[in-house]
Structure 1
């Protein structure tokens, strides 16, 4: 990636769906995900998402799938949802070979800016698998607060993966959006 040019952010379209699904899968599942640090391969097998899940974000009322390009290719993405007063951040993926270089931090900052300036969101919410302490620590370093509020993992929904353990759950992380 050309560091002087910086990434380009745009709303994803239907033509992006196959590339987005492949990107998300490469960042979280299978052997390719082990190249980066966001892998969930030891916690979950099977798909992380599917074309219908990505299309639902692209077409959803109050939602936006951000496609991030560098040097003319898709390198990252994230989901934003306007939930009235706060925004939800999810489906965040950075190409494994580009992880750890600061791109994720830029994308998170752009998502926060967009949610605050375009939607008037006062907070950003996200849920992270509680067993992912390294990932939670990443978000805490970026100003997110652990709430301790847990929600169950959707066991039995193969569309989000096949758990390899029976103690998975999500923790809500929250960040106040200000200063944009």
Structure 2
């Protein structure tokens, strides 16, 4: 399978976008349930197409998402605008740590600040649940650490040469942490 280099349009900006007031007011958050899976899976997979040169295949499938939703320590938070799915983020509270991941926004809405809103929302949920920090893991080669650093996350480990998730070539796993005040 040929490797597709990241295109300029795929670049992750190191400075998060600030959503305009009307967009911010239109976004509603809720916790996903099993009935959301048919809509959520294609949105997540479309959002993760930019990783296809490194991590092949769909990012998630219905069975795996259903299994995750059934875990007592996992929540999938949905963002909706006008009752239509706009994005999602997973929150896992396990082993005295809170993690977020599987952050996805509908490609048609990318660049409007929705990812920052989802992260802000999941940070509040973790803080309200009594966690003093939030962790994430990301792929360095996709340019993600500077984006998360701009939101207050610090690198705590970097592991080069990772071949997890059926990677087409080795990548660097970066774990980051943010203290929640």
User: Structure 2 length normalisation: TM-score?
Assistant: 0.81
Q: Say which SS state the counterpart of residue 142 (structure 1) adopts.
A: coil
Instruction: Quote the Cα distance in structure 1 between the aligned partners of 2:101 and 2:161.
Output: 16
Unaligned runs of 5+ in 2: 1-19
Q: Deviations over 1:26-50 (max 9, x none)?
A: 0012xxxxxxxxx212222211111
Given the alignment of the two structures, is residue 8 of structure 1 paired with residue 8 of structure 2, yes or no? no
Instruction: Quote the Cα distance in structure 1 between the aligned partners of 2:24 and 2:132.
Output: 31
Q: Deviations over 1:107-150 (max 9, x none)?
A: 10000000111x211111110012122x2111000000011342
Q: Hey, what does 1:143 align to over in structure 2?
A: 152
Unaligned runs of 5+ in 1: 30-38
For residue 134 of structure 2, the aligned residue among 124, 129, 137 is: 124
Q: Say which SS state the counterpart of residue 5 (structure 1) adopts.
A: helix
Preserved CA contact (<8 Å) 1:57 1:79: no
Q: Say which SS state the counterpart of residue 59 (structure 2) adopts.
A: coil
Q: Hey, what does 1:164 align to over in structure 2?
A: 168
Q: Say which SS state the counterpart of residue 100 (structure 1) adopts.
A: coil
Instruction: Quote the Cα distance in structure 2 between the aligned partners of 1:123 and 1:84.
Output: 13
Q: CA deviation at 1:87?
A: 0.5
Given the alignment of the two structures, is residue 25 of structure 1 paired with residue 45 of structure 2, yes or no? yes
Cα distance change of structure 1 residues 98 and 44 upon mapping to structure 2, 3 Å threshold: same
Q: Say which SS state the counterpart of residue 131 (structure 2) adopts.
A: coil
Task: Give aligned pairs, total.
Answer: 161
Query: Considering only aligned residues, what root-mean-square deviation do their CA atoms show, in Å?
Result: 2.0
Instruction: Quote the Cα distance in structure 2 between the aligned partners of 1:48 and 1:24.
Output: 7
Q: Which runs of 4+ in 1 moved over 6 A?
A: none
Q: Deviations over 1:3-53 (max 9, x none)?
A: 263311111011111111101100012xxxxxxxxx212222211111122
Instruction: Quote the Cα distance in structure 1 between the aligned partners of 2:78 and 2:39.
Output: 10
Preserved CA contact (<8 Å) 1:44 1:163: yes
Instruction: Quote the Cα distance in structure 2 between the aligned partners of 1:105 and 1:50.
Output: 25
Q: Deviations over 1:69-90 (max 9, x none)?
A: 1111101001001124321101
